Structure 1
C-alpha cells in the first residue's frame, strides 16, 4: 500500500523542483549555438524524461518513508532529497542562467553523488525504493557526459 500523504508531499516536492529547475532553463540562441554531442537528445525529449525521473524519485521517497525503520532514517531521507533538489536546480542555474557549462560540469558531479547517496541509503531498508532511483542515476550520468561534451567543444567560458 502506498501511503497517500507522503506520496502527495513527495510529488509536490518533485513538482516544485521541476518548476524551479525549468525556470532556470532557457533554450535560447546561446544554447542553440553551442556545439553538442551527436548523442544529445532533441530538446522536446527532456521534459518527458525529467517527468518520468521525478515521478520515480517521488515514488522512491514514498516507499523509503514507508519502509524506514526509524524516525532518524526518515529525517535523513528528507535531508538527502532536499540536498538533491537544491543541486538539481543549481545545475540548471549554473549551466543555463550563468552560461557556465564548465562550472556545471563540476556541479553535476555533486548532483550525481547526491543521487547515489540516496540510492545506497534507501537500499538499507527498501530495495524497491533504491531501484527506483537508478533511472535518475543513469540520466545524471548521461547528462554529465553531455555537459562534458558541451564544455569540451565550446570552452573556454566566462
Structure 2
C-alpha cells in the first residue's frame, strides 16, 4: 500500500496552530524539566565557582532558554510539515533529536555532576550537532534553519562560558 500526502502525517497541515503549539510545548517543557532537575546546584555549587567577567546574571538564563526552546519547536514543526516521507526530513529531524538530547544532557553534566569538564564533553558535540541540524534544515525550509541561528549563537556563547569556567576552576 503506498502512502500519499493526504493519508500520511497531514496533521500539521490540518491543525497547524494546534501542532505548532504542541511542538513548542514539548520543547519548552522538556527543556524546563532538565533545568529544574539541576536548579539546586545553581543556588549552591554554582555560586562558589569562579566565573569570567562575561558571565550573565542568573536571571537571564530562564527567559533566554525558554525563547530558544520555543524557536526550536517551531523549527522542528516547519521541517515536519515538509513531509516525514522525505528522507531529508527524517534525517533533519534525527539530527534535531540528537542535538536536543545533547542539550538536555548538558545541565546534568555541568550542574548535576558539578563538572565543567564534563559539560565541555557534552557542549562541544552539541554545537556540532546544532550546526548539522541547521545545514539539514536549510535544505528543507530556510525559515527553520534561520530559527535555529539564535540557538547556535547562544550555545557558542555558552561553550565559551563553559570553557572559561573550566579553566578558572
Does structure 1 residue 80 correspond to structure 2 residue 95? yes
Whether contact under 8 Å (2:25, 2:70) holds in the other structure is: no
Q: Which residue of 1 aligns with 2:30?
A: 17
Q: What is the CA–CA distance in structure 2 between the aligned matches of 1:71 and 1:8, rounded to whole Å?
A: 23
- The number of aligned residues is 154
Q: What is the CA–CA distance in structure 2 between the aligned matches of 1:33 and 1:129, rounded to whole Å?
A: 39
Q: Which residue of 1 aligns with 2:9?
A: none
Whether contact under 8 Å (1:21, 1:88) holds in the other structure is: no
Deviations 1:73-131, CA, capped at 9 Å, x for gaps:
33333322222221111100000111110111121001111111110001112111111
The TM-score normalised by the length of structure 2 is 0.82
The TM-score normalised by the length of structure 1 is 0.88
Look at both structures and tell me which one has the larger radius of gyration over its CA atoms. 2
Tell me, which stretches of 5 or more residues in structure 1 are unaligned? none
Out of 68, 83, 92, the position equivalent to 1:53 is 68
Q: What is the CA–CA distance in structure 1 between the aligned matches of 2:33 and 2:67, rounded to whole Å?
A: 17
The Cα of 1:22 is off from its aligned counterpart by 1.0
Does structure 1 residue 98 correspond to structure 2 residue 113? yes
Helix, strand or coil: the match of 2:140? coil
The Cα of 1:66 is off from its aligned counterpart by 2.1
TM-align CA RMSD:
1.9
Tell me, which stretches of 5 or more residues in structure 2 are unaligned? 1-12
Change (3 A) 1:81 1:44: same
Q: What is the CA–CA distance in structure 2 between the aligned matches of 1:10 and 1:74, rounded to whole Å?
A: 16
Helix, strand or coil: the match of 1:41? coil
